[in-house]
Each structure stands twice: as structure tokens, then as C-alpha cells.
Structure 1
Amino acid sequence: MKNTIALSAYLVLFMVAMCAGMEKASADVQKNFNVEKGGKLIVAVGGGDIQVRVWDKMQVQMTARNIGDDADRLKTSQDGNTVRVEYRSDWGWTGSSRDLRFEFYVPKDFNVDLTTSGGDVRIDGALQGDAAMHTSGGDLTLDGVSGGVNGKTSGGDITVRDIEGVADLATAGGDIHVDHAAKDLKISTSGGDISVRTVDENLSATTSGGDMNIAKVGGNLSASTSSGDVTVGNVGGNVSLSTSGGDITLTSGKGKISANTSGGDVSITDVVGSANVSSSGGTVKVGLTPAGGQTSRISSSGGDVYLYLPTDAKVTIKADISGGEDDQIVTDFPITYKSSGDSGSRQVECTLNGGGQEIYLHTSSGNIYIKKSTASTR
């Protein structure tokens, strides 16, 4: 009986000690720093997530969640208007803790420099200062940021819900998704897909191994992928699109349009300006309203070429087929042309509405069609 009572007492004490240890291990640390607008928060942690929000107080508040026994490894300091937070885990700067999280509140007009070796980095709210974000193994998320952003992750995704400033974002191994960016945006990934809904100004997008889907760009667009498809909606300015192994689709663009693929089809519905388009192995279709006086060149090395023009277009067209005995040059327009070649249809030069902007069409093995624009083709 005495042994049973003693054992029970021991178990109770053991459980109490365990609970106390767990509470200590999961304890939070919070600190506040009085600052002025225009200051800077510098965070360098060897593991854990980082989240920054904005508030109306002239303070920086730091909360280290679940830091527990490692609180002595957390170093904070303030030098004038600069706040520094550093943390090194038991595993050094490359360690990580799934439960460890660093949460910050900063004034709206404040700059942040955020680095973690093993977690996600997230900024929420209308941060008006500049933001630098870096993680070696997590995701980057931006929502409502007003200032400029420079962000890089070596192994995660990038999500942009709404940003107002200029941004340069890169990931070495993840996807990039953008809902809305108000100013110039540069994005790149070495191994993922890119999805963009709206960029109000200019967009530069690059991926080495995925597809690209871009709905709307208000300014100029440059987009390239080494092995995927490029699908683009409406662009308000110049367009440059390229892929080494997929199809290219563009709904509309204004200005100079360039599109090149080494292994797929090209379909461009409505261009106001000029077009330089080529495919090494597919069909090329371009709807063009010539403007700006620039020369257009449209070609395919292994497929048909289609050019759609409005009936009042003032252009001079030179078209030729260099291979394929049965291939033809066919036109909807009542035009006069001079031709050369065995059948009279291998090479043509034609003038519409008195001539004007020059358009060169070429295919090595396929037909060339010069057709009138309709609602279904533009």
C-alpha cells in the first residue's frame, strides 16, 4: 500500500514537472522599442518564420513565439532609430524550428530587412518603407505592401496579393503567383510556374522550367521560359515573349510585339503596332493592325503562317515559301501582285490600299494565308 502511494506521488510530481517544462519550452518573449518614422528593423534568425504587420503606434513590437529555453539565444538591440533582432538556434544559422515564429508590429513609414535560414517570411499591411526579404528554405508572402520590395527564396513559393511599390522577387525552386502589383514588377524562378493576374505598369517575368500565365499588364511585358507555354491576355505596351519548348498565346498588345518559340505554335489575336514573330516548328497566326511605321516579320520553319489584316490597312507585303512543292500563298484580298517561282505562287509582293508599313512573311515548309480580320479572329 505504501509503495502504491509513493508511486502515485512520484507520477504526480513527474507530470507537474513535465507540464512546467513544456510551458517553459513553449514560452513567448515580447519586447517593445520606441522609434520614429523612417527607421529600420533588421532581423536575422537561424530558423523560424517571420511575420511583419503595421500599426499606428511609433513602436516596434517583437514577439518570439515558442522560443522557451532558447530565449538566451535571442539578441535584441536598438541604435537610434534602428532595431536589430538576432537569433541563433542550437543547430547554428542553418537550423530550423517548425513552431518558432517571430512576429513584429512596425509603424507604416518604416524599413525592414528580414532574413531567416529555415522558415517563411510574410509582410501584411500598407508598409510604406522599403522591404528586403530572404529565406533559404521557405515561402515569401506580400499582402498590401506600399513600399519597394526586394525578395529572394532559395526553395519556396512567392505569393503577392497586393503591392503598391516597385518589386524584384526571385525563387530558385518554387512557383510565383501575383494577384496585383501597381508598379514595375520583376519576377523570376529557376524551377516553377508563374501566374499573374494584374500588373498596372511594366512586368519582367522569367522561369527556367515552367509555364507562364499572365492575364493583364498595363505597360510593357517581357516574359520568357525555357521549357513551357506562355499564355498572355491584354498588354497595354510593348511585348517580348519567348520559350524554347512550348506554345505562345497573346490576346492583345500595343506597340512592338516580339514572340519566338523553338518548338511550338504562336497565336496572337490583336496587335496594334508591329510584330516580329517566329516559330521553329509550329503554326504562326497573327492578327495585326499596322501602326507606328515599323516593319513586321512573321515566319515559321516548319508550319503554316496566317496573317489577319483589317480591310483598310495600308501595307506592303512580301511573302515567300522556300520549301514544299505543294505549299501555296493564299490571300482574301483583291490585290495585284508580282510573283516568281515555278508555279507563280511561291513568292509574292503585294500592295494594299496604296501601300505603307512593310510586312515580311516566310515559311520553309507550309502555306501562307493573308486573310481579312473578323470578330472571331481578332
Structure 2
Amino acid sequence: MKRSSFLLTTLFALPFAIQSLAQDKDEAPYDTKNFSGNLSNVRVETSGGSITVDGNQSSGVKVEMYVRPNNWPSNKVSKEEIEERLKEYDIKMAVEGNTVVATAKRKGRNNWDWKRSLSIAFKVYTPKNFATDLHTSGGSIRISNLVGTQNFATSGGSLHLSSIEGLIKGRTSGGSIHLDRCRKDIDLATSGGSIHAEDSDGNLNLRTSGGSVNLTNLSGRVNAHTSGGSVKGEGVKGELVAGTSGGSVRLYNISGSVEASTSGGGMDVEITKLGEYVRLSGGPGSVNVRMPLDQGIDLDLSGNRVDIPLSKFDGTVEKDRVRGRLNGGGVPVRISAGSGSVRVNR
């Protein structure tokens, strides 16, 4: 039932996502407004279009509104028809206190003819130190070059973040997540898309219910989970907690503490520098690990077969279990495979 609900949500959101693609470079905005004063926040809400916020403005705030008919570009209508349909919407582009507000809402839901609906998108240009509150029901959200608190959500589009610093919280019900050069506190989740995170640092909390997770050149504390895809990581430093319920785990050039798990695939992990712990839990597949063995380690390895080169070891060695102290003991390393084997430095 849960899967059926997700499919219905995704199919419903798809037309909006398609029609709310980023504006063509040559497309002129339907309306533009400029604001000045003591401004520090922007709030944007629209039901069918995309939202873009860029913090490269030296001063003041510029808001551009773009209007398209449903199923654009196959469904093209005249400017007069656009203006007639806009009468069915409440459009607001104004300042409230220290907040720039841009909203587009239908006046009534009764007798709503989706064929007459419009995709109303907003592009906002702000100074770098700006906070956002963004919501759209069907389009993508793009934010870049900002410092501050960022809160945003979409029901059917993707999230794109670039060069963002601060408290960041984003949600999408059906799209992918892309972030690069972001830092501090990052909390992002999607119900149906993949996650790509690169060149970022801080506290990263990344979750998807139906896609893959790709992590590249991250540092700090990284928590990444998926319910249905694979997890791939390379060049992660600090602390990495990653897991999947249905795919494989592939981690390379990891420096620091690692906790990873899978219920449905194999695991291949390369640790170049040990942190405070290693905890790896595999499912039906094998767990292959490459890691330094020349320092103090408390080993606890289990699987249908365990294979590891040992010297200066004090403990028990069995076909399916190795447990004891390596080089006098130290970093706790626990690696298990359900029905698969565990191989370390083999």
C-alpha cells in the first residue's frame, strides 16, 4: 500500500516537474520587482513552478516571476490568455518587515480546471547573508551562494544546493538531491530520488526512501541512508554512518570512524586511516575490507567464513569467527556478514 501511494504521488507530480523546468536563458520574466532596505529573509510559495534563490546580489533584492501554461511548451497560449488566467491567482511580490515575499496561490479550489492551470516560477536575487523559506508543490528548488538558515520543500521536484553555509533543511517527495560546496548543519531528505553530495563538510544528514546515495569528498559527521538503493562513497573524512536496506555499499578512501550496513547486497570498504571505531554489517553478500592492521585493534569478525592475515594477535581464530586483540588492542573493529564471508586485506 505504501509503495502504491508513493507511485501515485510521483505520477501526480510528474507533469508539474516537467513543466516547471528551469527557464530558458532567453526567456524574459513576466514581471520583475526590486526591493531595498534592511532585508534579511525571503519567503516564496508557489503551487506549480520552480524556485531559484541566488545570493550573488551586492545589495537589494530582485524578484522575477515567470509564467507558463500547463504542459508548456507543447501547450502555448497568447499573452492575453495568460493575463486572463492570472486573474484566478493571488500574486504577491512585496516586503513584510525585513522579509521579501513572493507568492502565487489559486483563489479557489472549487471547479478547478487543471488544463487552465499555470506554472508560476520565481527567481530571487539576494545578498549573500540571507535566510530562505521556500515551498512549491510541483517544481524544483535551486539555492546558491547563501549564508544563513535555509528551509525549503517541494512535493514533486528536485533540490539543488551550491555554496550554502548555515542551518539547512530541505525536503522533496519525489525528486533527487544534489549538493556541493555546502557546510555546517545540513538535513536533506527525499522519498523517491537519488542523493549526490560532494565537496561539503559539517553535520550532514541525508536520507532517501527509493534512490542511490553518492558521497564524494565530504568531511565532518556524515549520516546517509537509503531504503532501496546502493551507497557509494569516496574521500570521506571524520565520521561516516551509512546504510541501505536493498543495495550494495562501496566505500573508498575513508579516513575516520565508519559504521555501515546493508540488508540486501555486498560490501566493499577501504579505510585509509582508522578513527574511533569500525562497525560493518553485511547481508547475504560478502564483506571485503582493506584497512591498516599495524596498530592496536580489538577485533570481532564473524561470517560463514572469515579470512584475515594475523600477527601479534591474542585471541581465538575459527573458520567463522575471529575475536581478540591485535597489536595489544585498541580501536574496536566489528565486522559481520549474515550468510556471506568476511575478508580483510585479502
TM-score normalised by the chain length of structure 2:
0.71
1:159 counterpart = 2:160: yes
Quick check: 222-231 or 262-271, which moved more? Answer: 262-271
Q: 1:140 corresponds to which residue?
A: 141
| Rounded Cα–Cα distance in structure 2 between residues aligned with 1:133 and 1:197 | 23
Deviation at 1:148, TM superposition (A): 2.3
C-alpha spacing 1:363/1:261, structure 2 compared with 1 (3 Å): closer
| Rounded Cα–Cα distance in structure 2 between residues aligned with 1:58 and 1:320 | 61
Deviation at 1:84, TM superposition (A): 4.5
Is the 8 Å Cα contact of residues 286 and 341 (structure 2) preserved in structure 1?
no
Is the 8 Å Cα contact of residues 47 and 89 (structure 1) preserved in structure 2?
no
- Which of 294, 300, 313 aligns to 2:295? It is 313
Q: How is 1:140-219 mapped onto 2 (pairs within 5 angstroms)?
A: 140-219=141-220
Deviation at 1:168, TM superposition (A): 1.1
Q: 2:118 corresponds to which residue?
A: 97
C-alpha spacing 1:348/1:162, structure 2 compared with 1 (3 Å): closer
Q: How is 1:68-107 mapped onto 2 (pairs within 5 angstroms)?
A: 68-69=83-84, 70=86, 74-75=91-92, 78=95, 81-82=98-99, 84-89=101-106, 96-98=117-119, 100-106=120-126
Q: 2:281 corresponds to which residue?
A: 278
Q: 1:333 corresponds to which residue?
A: 310
Q: 1:294 corresponds to which residue?
A: none
Is the 8 Å Cα contact of residues 333 and 371 (structure 1) preserved in structure 2?
no
Q: How is 1:190-269 mapped onto 2 (pairs within 5 angstroms)?
A: 190-269=191-270
Structure 2 stretches lacking a partner, 5+ long: 1-27, 68-78
- Aligned partner of residue 181 in structure 2, secondary structure: strand
Q: 1:118 corresponds to which residue?
A: none
| Rounded Cα–Cα distance in structure 1 between residues aligned with 2:320 and 2:104 | 72
Deviation at 1:286, TM superposition (A): 2.4
CA RMSD of aligned residues (A): 3.6
| Rounded Cα–Cα distance in structure 2 between residues aligned with 1:162 and 1:139 | 17
| Rounded Cα–Cα distance in structure 1 between residues aligned with 2:97 and 2:328 | 72
Bigger radius of gyration: 1
Is the 8 Å Cα contact of residues 49 and 140 (structure 2) preserved in structure 1?
no
- Aligned partner of residue 152 in structure 2, secondary structure: strand
| Rounded Cα–Cα distance in structure 2 between residues aligned with 1:104 and 1:345 | 63
Is the 8 Å Cα contact of residues 52 and 122 (structure 2) preserved in structure 1?
yes
What is the identity, as a one-letter code, of the residue corresponding to 1:275? V
Deviation at 1:210, TM superposition (A): 0.6
* Greater relative CO, 1 or 2 (CA 8 Å, sep 6+): 2
C-alpha spacing 1:148/1:90, structure 2 compared with 1 (3 Å): closer
C-alpha spacing 1:188/1:61, structure 2 compared with 1 (3 Å): closer
C-alpha spacing 1:278/1:134, structure 2 compared with 1 (3 Å): same
Is the 8 Å Cα contact of residues 134 and 152 (structure 2) preserved in structure 1?
yes
C-alpha spacing 1:272/1:80, structure 2 compared with 1 (3 Å): closer
Deviation at 1:31, TM superposition (A): 4.9
| Rounded Cα–Cα distance in structure 2 between residues aligned with 1:236 and 1:269 | 12
Q: Deviations over 1:193-223 (max 9, x none)?
A: 1111221222111000011111121111100
1:287 counterpart = 2:290: yes
| Rounded Cα–Cα distance in structure 1 between residues aligned with 2:316 and 2:43 | 71
- Which of 327, 336, 341 aligns to 1:353? It is 327
| Rounded Cα–Cα distance in structure 2 between residues aligned with 1:105 and 1:364 | 52
C-alpha spacing 1:130/1:200, structure 2 compared with 1 (3 Å): same
C-alpha spacing 1:193/1:43, structure 2 compared with 1 (3 Å): closer
Q: Deviations over 1:78-118 (max 9, x none)?
A: 555555555444765986424x5555555x2xxxxxxxxxx
Structure 1 stretches lacking a partner, 5+ long: 1-25, 109-125, 290-308, 373-378
- The number of residue pairs the alignment matches comes to 297
| Rounded Cα–Cα distance in structure 2 between residues aligned with 1:49 and 1:368 | 47
C-alpha spacing 1:155/1:149, structure 2 compared with 1 (3 Å): same
C-alpha spacing 1:333/1:172, structure 2 compared with 1 (3 Å): same
- Aligned partner of residue 165 in structure 1, secondary structure: strand
C-alpha spacing 1:313/1:88, structure 2 compared with 1 (3 Å): closer
- Aligned partner of residue 161 in structure 2, secondary structure: strand
Q: Deviations over 1:52-95 (max 9, x none)?
A: 55644546666676663446954555555555555444765986
What is the identity, as a one-letter code, of the residue corresponding to 1:198? D
| Rounded Cα–Cα distance in structure 2 between residues aligned with 1:201 and 1:277 | 23
Is the 8 Å Cα contact of residues 28 and 64 (structure 1) preserved in structure 2?
yes
Q: Deviations over 1:144-185 (max 9, x none)?
A: 223321110000111123323331111000111123213322
C-alpha spacing 1:284/1:148, structure 2 compared with 1 (3 Å): same
C-alpha spacing 1:32/1:203, structure 2 compared with 1 (3 Å): closer
